[in-house]
Structure 1
């Protein structure tokens, strides 16, 4: 049985059905995938690497990565992600073994508290190149920065795009009291 499926540049609009359950790597870079339906990866219990960079994904839905006991790397950079729903990374039995999450260059403006557990355990998380809205909704995340294992790797490039007075500043350098909603 194949261990990898490299389906780059095929114009795919969804995760292919009938993938071999023995897959360790699923590479769907540079396609037209806009949504990953919760459960669409559930049979891939051996999956270690999942790459959907350069697609059109806008939301990471609740349960998207549920039941992937061996997942180690998730590449979702250069999509159009605006939202990470609560529970998107729940039910990952081996959460503490996930080594890399790449969410660079999307349209994420706020990190929901529900993503904290994931980020806390990650060995490396990359979130640079997103238009961060550094207002009161980012206070919980900002206050937790010192507790993240990946503090130096991931937070040095979380640069505020909004509000104007904080534009260009790194979130880690901003006092939580300055993060206000107007």
Structure 2
């Protein structure tokens, strides 16, 4: 009797499960493919590469993943997700989206991932993401976004990663990211950013990684990075930065990796890393450094890796401390054959690690 009862309950459960799957498949748009996870009332709707010009009006009620990438969508109208209250992931990458209605994502409070990469978006709607209270990942790379405003990101208190590479940003205004109090990763690489307001990063106390590679920065005002008290990695490669001072890095007490490769830096003050006691990796290759204080590097107790190649090193007494540092420290640094003298002529193209302090004189 007990076995029969269990069998009946199992059969009943299977019937309920089958009915749910049948209902999900019945509501599946004809141009899409729907699949339901075993033992879960969650349907994945795959409409990728179907030539769609609009989002299907009828979707399974239990949709949790919606794939609409590589279609021909141009405009996101209001309430596009109102029929799928359980939706957690929406992928709209590589369409032709130009505009987003301020109420496009209204009610999508369970949404965790929104991918809008590779579209033609030039302007984000004011308060357009305010209902996305649980969004963790927002991907906006490869668009044409030219400006940011503080109220663009209101409501996104749980956002963890914001990707904005390959856009047309030329400046970061005050409080640009202030509502994003939980942000961990911010990618602003491959834009045209020339100016950063000293208050641009206010509110980003939880940020761990900031990428500003390949922009047009020439200088950074003192204290700009000060709000980033938790930052662990800062990438400023491939800019036009000519000076780096201790006030530039003010507040970055948790910074572990700093990369300013391929810039225009000619010299570094001895106290440049005074505010960054936890630095382990420093990238300075591809600048215009003629000399550097080796004692400054030696005093960085946690330093594990420093790259210095592709700089126009002047091999005279001004690099005595650097030669000593390279000989004494076990820090990983630029390959021997890539760290070479440019001048004077008698040392031209000679590896710096082969020099001795006795050779390096400074003529009056």
Return the TM-score normalized by structure 1. 0.88
The aligned residue for residue 200 of structure 2 is: 18
The answer (yes or no) to whether the contact 1:104–1:127 under 8 Å persists in 2 is yes
1:87 offset after TM fit, Å? 1.1
The aligned residue for residue 313 of structure 2 is: 132
Larger Cα Rg: Structure 1 or Structure 2? 2
In structure 2, what is the Cα distance between the partners aligned to 1:160 and 1:115?
20
1:155 offset after TM fit, Å? 6.5
Give the root-mean-square deviation of aligned CA atoms: 1.9
1:147 offset after TM fit, Å? 2.8
1:136 offset after TM fit, Å? 1.1
1:32 to 216, 223, 227: 216
1:139 offset after TM fit, Å? 1.3
3-state DSSP of counterpart to 2:195 = coil
| Residue range with higher mean Cα deviation, 7-16 or 47-56 | 7-16
User: Structure 1, residues 38-79: CA drift from partner, whole Å, max 9, x if none?
Assistant: 311111011011011010001111332233122111111011
Q: Which ranges of structure 1 fall in alignment gaps of 5 or more residues? A: none
2:276 to 68, 75, 92: 92
Pairing 1:72–2:262 present: no
The aligned residue for residue 154 of structure 1 is: 334
Pairing 1:83–2:267 present: yes
The aligned residue for residue 44 of structure 1 is: 228
1:179 offset after TM fit, Å? 0.8
Pairing 1:53–2:233 present: no
Return the TM-score normalized by structure 2. 0.46
1:135 offset after TM fit, Å? 0.6
3-state DSSP of counterpart to 2:258 = strand
Q: Which ranges of structure 2 fall in alignment gaps of 5 or more residues? A: 1-181
Higher helix share: 1
